[in-house]
Amino acid sequence: MAAPESGDGNNGAARMVTLISSDNTRFEVEAAAASLSQTLQLTILDGGGGGGDGIPLPNVDSATLSKVLEYCIKHAPAAANGGAPNATAVDRAELERFDNEFVNIDQSVLYSLIMAAHNLEIEGLQSLVAKKVADMIKGKSPMEIRRTLGFPDPTPEEQAEMNAHMLEYGWAYE
Amino acid sequence: MPHSREAHLGVSLQIRRPRKPSPLRFLIDGQKDNQDDNLSKLPNDILLAILDQLDVRDAARTSVLSKRWRQLPAMLSRLVIDVKNFRSNGAFKPSMDALVHTNVAVAKATNSMLSRRKSSEYIIQLLHMTFYLRDDDSISIGRTIWVQPEDPKRLASMFHKLRVVNLIGVPEGCDLTWTMFILDAAPSLKELYITFSHVMQVWNHVCEMKLDKERRRFNSCREKNVKWEAYNVEHHSLSTLTMFNFQPEDYIVRHIRRVMEVAVNLDDIKAVQEARVWLVQGQVSIKAVQVSIDQEAEVFIEEQNGSRDRLARHNSLPCYAAA
């Protein structure tokens, strides 16, 4: 009898792994969800992260990690289906609704999130947050961009530089 | 109603290089900015991923933010500069003035984005420009894309590593001699692809009334094929020339001959007429044409009618060429 290839095991219980945030909080999640991270995937495939061991993530604090995992858990089933083929329109709409809601958060959280997604190599999350930040920039004037992104108001010196720059990039303002 | 007046030509220039570690990596640390904003604490890779989501105008505007942001546009590996980004707001009226204006804006933006990349530290993976191709002065494409078409050497530093060029949506009947310029500016070019669009057919059905007038315009375009200066230098790198939606017309065959003369190592010419979709009649008719061209440039054609399935298969098949 050939053993099933799947890592889900025979008894229906999904395999769990433990991730440890920089502030030493332990998170137990399904291996399938954690495997959305390219960085973690290899370790998990090698059987790491199970039992009492846990995988330390020294660059990710617990608040950010719990947010990241919320995303992974939601997206894991679709990813397991190899993306979209089996997904119904309803499923996709639901994921989209979740994504929109998910990035509707404070800017500083957004930045921690994209940094974590970058380190953990979670492609979908990276582009989701990048898109959100890009949306905050789209169609705005330089002053509006500065304010939206939390840049301090320019000093007179910087203002002069900005003006010179706007002349140079005239085609971007027409 | 937009029709042939709005036909545009997309040029994808792909510059490929063997994989090596991203040059951005070492910039992750040690990027200090005096700004208080949190966004600027992120590494360049992430900021570039954000800029990648913006159209070229928005991306250029962010460089006003700080010294650090000023350097970012020159690091982008994908540059997409599309006429669509340069239309004035509201309904686009395809008047001649508007077309010229938009084309000029695209040229300016391209020039501006490229001129900031003096060092070769950051590799352009994809440069994609789209602009309006006007049937009665196709030669000006040259001036639009190539900032100084008379002097390809100026571009040599930019294009000397260019390996693959895709010309997309070239209207049938339009001058091809200007493509010789690409060979001149890109000595390392290995693959050249040209896809013709069937603007005219679709358009004819949409608007029968103006057919004769438009056809005359296209014909006049066809007669202007000789303005480009003779190209006398041999090109040693080009190995494949591929044409999609190929029509075995004289001016194209003449062009192929010309390329064959120049590209001494050209060993593969593929010409495929893939699928024609007659939009207005609501039916799909497919002709797959396989053309083989030998050194005497004999053109040999097979036609067949097929179903939708065949259409799909033909699209995914590598096109066929025989020696």
Give the tens place of pLDDT for each residue, A67-84: 999 999 999 988 776 655
> Cα angle at B144 between B143 and B150, to 5 degrees?
20
Structure tokens at B230: 């003779």
B27 vs B132: which has the higher pLDDT: B132
Q: What is the pLDDT of residue B157?
A: 54
CB within 8 Å: A172 and B65: no
Domain ranges of chain B: 4-17+123-316
Query: A137, A140, A144: which to substitute to probe chain B, counting the most B Cβ within 10 Å?
Result: A137
Residue A47 lies in domain: 16-138
Q: What is the CATH number of the domain that holds A37?
A: 3.30.710.10
pLDDT tens, B145-203?
A: 333 333 344 445 556 667 777 776 666 666 666 677 777 777 788 888 887 765 444 33
Closest alpha carbon within chain A to B103:
A171
Write the ipTM: 0.86
| A23 and A61 belong to one structural domain | yes
Q: How many residues are listed for chain B in this entry? A: 323
Q: What is the pLDDT of residue A9?
A: 42
| A130 and A147 belong to one structural domain | no
Is A62 within a domain? yes
CB within 8 Å: B42 and A111: yes
Q: Is residue A58 within 8 Å of A68, Cβ to Cβ?
A: no
| A38 and A100 belong to one structural domain | yes
Q: What is the pLDDT of residue A26?
A: 93
Measured between alpha carbons, how far is A79 from B26 in angstroms, rounded to an integer? 32
Strands, sheet with A16-20, edge to edge from the N-terminal-most edge strand: A26-30, A16-20, A55-56
| A124 and A147 belong to one structural domain | no
Tally of domains within chain A: 2
Name the strand (E) or helix (H) holding A132. Answer: helix A123-137
Closest to B35 (Cβ–Cβ): which among A130, A151, A173? Answer: A151
Q: What is the pLDDT of residue B120?
A: 54
Closest to B112 (Cβ–Cβ): which among A118, A146, A171? Answer: A171
DSSP B162: -
| A121 and A145 belong to one structural domain | no
Q: Is the dihedral of CA B70, A158, B55, A100 positive or negative?
A: positive
CB within 8 Å: B61 and A145: yes
Q: What is the pLDDT of residue A1?
A: 41
What are phi and psi for residue B249, nearest 5 degrees?
-100, 155
From A116's Cα to the closest Cα of chain B, the distance in A is 11
Is A153 within a domain? yes
| A61 and A133 belong to one structural domain | yes
Q: Which residue type does B78 have?
A: R
Structure tokens at B280: 């207005």
Q: What is the pLDDT of residue B135?
A: 45
Q: Does pLDDT of B299 surpass 50?
A: no
Cβ neighbours of B50 in A, within 8 Å: 130, 133-134, 137
Hey, which residues does B273 pair with through a beta bridge?
Answer: B289
Is A8 within a domain? no
Cβ neighbours of A134 in B, within 8 Å: 50-51, 53-54, 58
CB within 8 Å: A165 and B51: no
Q: Is residue B311 within 8 Å of B286, Cβ to Cβ?
A: yes
Closest to A171 (Cβ–Cβ): which among B39, B52, B109? Answer: B109
DSSP B27: G
| A108 and A26 belong to one structural domain | yes
CB within 8 Å: A172 and B61: yes
Cβ neighbours of A64 in B, within 8 Å: none
What are phi and psi for residue A83, nearest 5 degrees?
90, -125
| A168 and A101 belong to one structural domain | no
